Amino acid sequence: MSYDRAITVFSPDGHLFQVDYAQEAVKKGSTAVGVRGKNIVVLGVEKKTVAKLQEDRTVRKICSLDDNVFMAFAGLTADARIIVNRARVECQSHRLTVEDPATVEYITRYISSIKQANAIGRSAKTVREFLEKNYKEDMESDTDTIKLAIRALLEVVQSGGKNIELAIMKRDESMKILVQEEIEEYVTAIETEKAEKQKKP
C-alpha cells in the first residue's frame, strides 16, 4: 500500500509523508529574512528567476495580511496560500469584532494554533549568522535597516538585486513593496560602500 497518496494516511512508522514532503520543500525553498529598525520593519526574500512567459508581479513570496501586518514564506506558494488566506480572514474577523486591527502577536498565535510548525528556508543558517554579527539594537536610520536586510540576502543570492523581493513597513504607514529599480539602487550603494571599505588600509 502506498502511504503518500493522502494527507490523512499514516505510514507504519507513524509518518505523514505529505507533511514530510512539504517540510522538505520549505528547507529547499528560497531564503527569507526579517529586520526590525527603530521605525521600520523590513522583510526580504530571495526570488527565483521568472520564466519569460510569466508575469513578474504574480510571483510574490511576501503577502499583506492586513494594513499593519505582512508576512514572508519559503517553500511552495500553493502550500502557503492556505495559511495566508486563513490569516487574512482572521484579521478581517478580528477587525469586525474588536474594531481594531489584529496585532502581530495575535495573528502569529493564530497561525501557530492551526499549523504548530517551524519552517526555515535554504541557507537560513548563513543569513542568521550574518545578522547575529551585523545587527545593532540602536539602528536609527530606516536606510541602514533596509541595507542590512539586503546585505543579508546578498550572502546567499547569486545574481544580485534582480533576485531579491523586499517589502517595508514604516510606523503609521501601510506596507510598501519596493520596485526593482529601488532595490538595485540599494545594492549599488552597498557595493560602493564595500569597495570603499576594502580600499581603506
Q: Which of 32, 62, 20, 18 is nearest to 122 (CA)?
A: 32
145 near 135, Cβ under 8 Å? Answer: no
What sign has the CA pseudo-torsion 186, 192, 194, 197?
Answer: negative
pLDDT per residue, tens digit, the chain (201 aa), is 465 566 666 677 777 777 777 767 766 777 888 888 888 889 888 877 777 887 777 778 888 999 889 888 877 788 788 889 999 999 999 999 999 999 988 998 888 787 654 445 677 778 888 888 888 877 778 889 999 989 888 888 877 778 888 999 888 888 899 998 999 999 999 988 888 888 776
Q: Looking at the DSSP assignment, which residues form a beta bridge with residue 32?
A: 45
User: Where are the chain's structural domains?
Assistant: 31-199
Q: Does domain 31-199 have CATH number 3.55.10.10?
A: no
pTM of the predicted protein model: 0.69
Report the alpha-carbon distance of residue 108 to residue 77 in Å, rounded: 19
Q: At 147, which amino acid appears?
A: K
Phi, then psi, of 64 in degrees rounded to 5: -90, 130
Q: Residues 6 or more apart from 141 whose CB is under 8 A from it? A: 37
